[in-house]
Structure 1
């Protein structure tokens, strides 16, 4: 199958990067490549993405939600779609040399700093000339985050149970006051499929990864509330869109 090129390199010529946003209902862009690196992230709604970083490799699939993103190198084949009538997402294209040689590609969890930078870049009131330093700061933040994400889990011996490595990923994020990675991001970091992680958790913990993640979120929320933090601040720290979602979690997940 011939995969068409959607050239974006010329758009990056002046500043080294180019930003695009889309609000198209039921967004769909079938398999294509770019001649520059790309960061894709949802702002409203979710995106279903598939990609191949290396020719001949099996396609990877991931549902991007708020606080997650997809980082791809130049020439990576990918497709993206949204089933939602109301969606908004950002596409950041930059020259490959800006990333450096140590970049790791694929689905990533955005920490608070990276997410704030992307929001600032997308703001219509961003002052002229402010974008370039923000881009360099964002790339540095992503590089630091990618090198540390699930670092403790990676340091465990390969024979460590998969569910234990998942729990270490979650504990590392909570201890560092970072957004709790989605199950899909953890599976990506551990080099397994979501289905493999589900089977391991069922066998080793007697529960699903989603249920484990929700319980850890509820435990952390109750800990912060017991320390006197207001619900609005707890919601913000744990990346809930508003306190109502936090309250529903605490009702549904009993101590």
Structure 2
């Protein structure tokens, strides 16, 4: 299960005009798992963002994608999500939408923005734009987004071993507990022995060894973001930093 998400209310900000706008220029931007009480459109203007969110289906794994200029993610109210800048410098916009703006949408998630939508979003961020003009512009942006093309996300791999790896990765990206081998096998609908054979064929290693590699790779990624070793150790459930250090040493070259 993912770590408890922080509730970040925004609906009250939309009361006056049906929307609220935020322009972020914060370097090394990172927002841990959180949720809003209104819809949200998030789009990069500069740099690259990693975005992850939990679909409505309870059993569906979290969806994760990379966003650059020309991409966006549109999420309904109550969606648990995470946003991380993958470069030191970044700039992105966040448009919070009251429920009436979302009635025409049946599908949410990552989308491509066409030139008209990008231009309107840029205009919306202009400090000289009057509130009445902003409201008209938001309605036009929403109408244009209804026909936006979905941004492709990786399909579920056919390989049993790779599906196991994806479940491990999804759990870590959600800041959740890493599933045991038994739990992973049960989720995939196979026996532990079947999973062992598949991993040996695919990777030449046991599921336990692969699980440790995935954990070590995720720890290195967190450390590369500048997080302290002690914080990463605590986040990943290690009893001490020494346990994580030994895992990283053991996995070097793996």
TM bracket (short chain): 0.5 to 0.7
8 Å CA contact retained: 2:65, 2:153: no
| CA displacement 1:148-199 (0-9 Å, x = unmatched) | x38xxxxxxxxxxxxxxxxxxxxxxxxxxxxxxxxxx2347xxx25x67xxx
- Matched ranges for 1:1-255 at <5 A: 1-54=3-56, 55-145=58-148, 149=149, 185-187=151-153, 192=155
| CA displacement 1:192-242 (0-9 Å, x = unmatched) | 25x67xxxxxxxxxxxxxxxxxxxxxxxxxxxxxxxxxxxxxxxxxxxxxx
| CA displacement 1:114-157 (0-9 Å, x = unmatched) | 11110110122223321001011111101123xxx38xxxxxxx
Aligned residues: 155
Aligned-partner Cα distance in 1 for 2:109–2:128: 30
Task: Quote the RMSD (CA, aligned, Å).
Answer: 1.7
Gap regions ≥5 residues in structure 2: 159-254
Aligned-partner Cα distance in 2 for 1:62–1:52: 12
Q: SS state of the match for residue 66, structure 1?
A: coil
Tell me the TM-score normalised to structure 1 length: 0.57
Residue 101 (structure 1) shift: 4.5
8 Å CA contact retained: 1:53, 1:72: no
**Relative contact order higher in (CA < 8 Å, ≥ 6 apart):** 2
**Structure with bigger gyration radius:** 2
